[in-house]
Structure 1
Amino acid sequence: MYRVMLVDDEPLVRLALRELIDWDTYQCEIIAEASDGEEALRTLQRQEDVDLIMMDIQMPKMDGITCLERLGEIRMERNPVVIVLSAYSEYDYVRQAFLLGAVDYIVKSHMEPEPMNAVVAKAMDMLKDRMQQAEQEEREQRALQMKAREVTLTEHLRGGRLTSEAPVSPNDSGEQIIGCIQVSTSDESATFTIHMIRQVMEGYFSEVTILPMSAKEYVLMLFFGQEASQGRHSIRHRIAEGMDQLVSHFKQYVNQSVSIGISDFIQHRQEWRSAYEQARELAELRFFTQEGRVFFPEHARMNRSQLQSSGSEVWDRKVLLRCLELGQPWQGELDNGFAYWQSQHAKPLKDIQKMYQGFLWELGGLLHARGLDWKDVTELNTQPYEALLHMTRMTDVHLWLEKLVSHAAAQLDPRRIASRQSPRLIDKAKAYINTHYHEPFSLSDVSEWVGVSECHLSKQFTKETGENFIAYVTHVRIEKAIQLMWGGMKLFEIAEKVGYPNQGHFSRIFKKVTGQTPQQYRESSRLG
């Protein structure tokens, strides 16, 4: 209902306003009357939620014009719509009333139901438009305040200082819990992910704040307020139920695994960051177990207890690196490393990742010392140190590391390195031919010199050069003969220099290779 106040010094006029206007049609109720401007202002100070005022211009003590002026000076949550009542002789006052904010007027000498209701209907339409605009502005203001608060909270959880000027909420003190939600992939937009989280959480909790920390991590802040009277055990049961529903919701609708860490109860905003860090470490327990689980503080306490009782020994990764360097068996030593890393599950994930990275740095150093690079052992476009950070489960990391070490071992094998560093078989054969092309020699001579059988050398020669041994030797000798033609030597001298003491044989071989006799070649090339 809209609230109306009538202001006129004549009781009969106020009665007429009550009776002649169909207030129920406009969803209005008259909540106050006043006989002059002063009384009207006193009423407004007690009841600021008046929506419509019908006020006479001419009144004792304080007239309507003065009252309108005073209304403009008063700060009110929302200003009422004002209709003034006037006599024919008061048009100057009506004009002044409009300038002071009045929206319409009624002539007191013509107070008939139809024109009066028309004026009120018009005023109510204006009031509704004004209230809708005010509500829209209020919603926008609340949205801006909420956004500013979320930005402040996000910066604080990332390490920023929470100043006294930071936006606050009435729920910032009292029973609270912080959750850290980690999704398996970043395929969905942050807006979509937040909507999914809110859709489930608002079915369980009345006060929910969701903050995107990264494409794969979201913070959930739950404020319980009056719900705290139900007791922590009841709240904890509802949290477990809501989080299980959230995990199921993500799996069912977008096929994503979600891991959630839930902090201990906290009481004050000064505890937000430490609670977030606790929740984040709990969510990261998925690295050691499986994704799609909810982790509470007691899970961390269980892990610490298991670590203390395990008594695991420190693993020396240099032993594994030495095995790789010497070409010795390495699988058992790598398994020892896996067992050691698994025993460290009570430590924060970032500390475990540093252990892996330390091993990768030393393995990379060993590869570099042997003239190798990561590209020789992995097809990844990114460095292994970076690829490691995107893996969310320890079992996946260990499978990947085992494959990486296997490839590194193959490249670091001393026999492979020795063969790679010594001259290749065919390169040695070519070097012999280039040195002895002017002498008579055979495939047998060259194979004996490089240390392999004639058959093996012949096959490898054809495989790597694309021609057989005899053809290759012939091309080398003819190329050398062409080079010698530039010096003006006699053709029989050139033949002897390239291993053909019979000039006729030399000419036939030369023509077979070039398509011309030596003499024709010299003349066509203008070498004579």
Structure 2
Amino acid sequence: MHQVMIVEDEFIVRYGIRSMIEWEKIGLQLTGEAANGKEALELMKDGLPDILITDIKMPVMDGIELIAEVRRISPDIKIIILSNLEDFQYAKEAIKHGVSEYLIKSDMMPRDFEQALLKLKESVGRRNAANEGAPAFQPEPAHKEKFLVDLIEGTIRGASEGSSKAGQLGMAQLHSAYFMHISLNDSELGFTERLSLIRHLLKQAWTEGSSSYEVFPDKQGEINVLFLAFMNEERPSPAGEMQKLRQWAEDFIQLLSKPSGRLATIGISSRIRKWTDVKEAYAQAVKAEKQKMFLGCGHAIIYGTDDMSMPAAAKAEHLRISSHQIQSMVYAFQSKELTEYLEELFKQLAARRDVDLVQIISLELLMILTTLWPDVSTDAQQVLELKKQYFDELSRLETLEQNRIWFIQAFDALVQHLILMYNSDRNSIIKATQYIQQYYHQEISLQSISTLVHLSKNYFANLFKKEVGESFLEYLTRIRIDKAKTLLTGDLKAGDVGSLVGIQDPKYFSKVFKKITGVSPSEYRHLMREER
């Protein structure tokens, strides 16, 4: 029975690994556990395991150091590394030391983990058989994946280096190949489940002998297929080859949707002929897949087709978003006008076909939403939860149409909330006007008066103008000038009158008085005396 050792610094993770697998049932024996690399090496003095399962980030001695030491002790031990998706760079370093499999902790499912163990158990069996006289070279899947990841990241630059490494891994030479980037849309599957599902269905979909392919995840966790096209058939024309590939991709999308209804989008690169073209082909396939933003999900999209072009007229237009205009429409309860504004905005985005621009505009709209809600709600916890909900929902949107509908509904919900608040908060505005009429001679700011009536400053300012018909400052100034007119009929000096109504600077008082009445304080007094 093959022996397995677990190295993981978190007890709960070790316990989970130990509990999720029926070890004896699959022909494996769990012989040791360690909390770091140093402890694991101590245990190995009593005997080496056939399979080592290790975390990457650990205290004392991390997984990469442990793997390097293990490889010096024995090149035959099969190694599974556990990591978080953001630790992919560490995983790549570990792969250099001959790791057989790597699994993402957060997505790790029992059946996927069991499959990985069974595959390594079979590999150990073949190795033992080879040692008994049946030599066979079986490159580890992780070695191929590392090679392909190095290609798409540009680590391998020379054509000869690419061909040499491909040959060492038993991979066919490139003559006519294509890169496919597969995205499962709105999928709740974890990384490992998605990879397992696509690999399983690829085996069903591929016609044996017609071509070959390599499947691997990129550092974002998306699944990619390097398709070595139609090698053993009579070669069709380039256009015919591309049409055949598109048809296969569309059939595969249908196959993916059958068991669960999940939609997938596949971006397809232009033809490549050498290993060093893989990096550019990957970028093309990713760019093509992103066009689902405009074309919708569930399509095979080929890079460089007319579907991806941006009209020249759209390029010439300068797209702007006015946060002030949107806020004004929200506070004025102009739902219809706001919807029309958003419709026109998304119409322009559709014409431009620029995925990055859609993301920028969506982020700006989200910022406006999350800025307005704290101004119109007194429940801070509710606002925080709503912000989390917004970010979560927006991260799941994949097409421009989904974004358009979502933002129209989100802003409409905000306006409806404001309408409900308006009736209850009108009394607060009445209270504010009464306070101003009584204490106009004191220093009153927008911040102080909004705090007095328990409303946010921005919300109060907009609500005040809607209810009173003029801004807070205009209303306060008008009240002060009206009071000053009364006082100027007496014998007080104009400067003293200004101080008595709350305007301390005589020059400023005179300027404001003349702006509102059309005459200076002294001229006004003279006119009043003449009338009497």
- TM-score when normalising by structure 1: 0.47
Larger radius of gyration: 1
- TM-score when normalising by structure 2: 0.47
Question: Relative contact order, CA 8 A, sep 6+: which one is greater?
Answer: 2
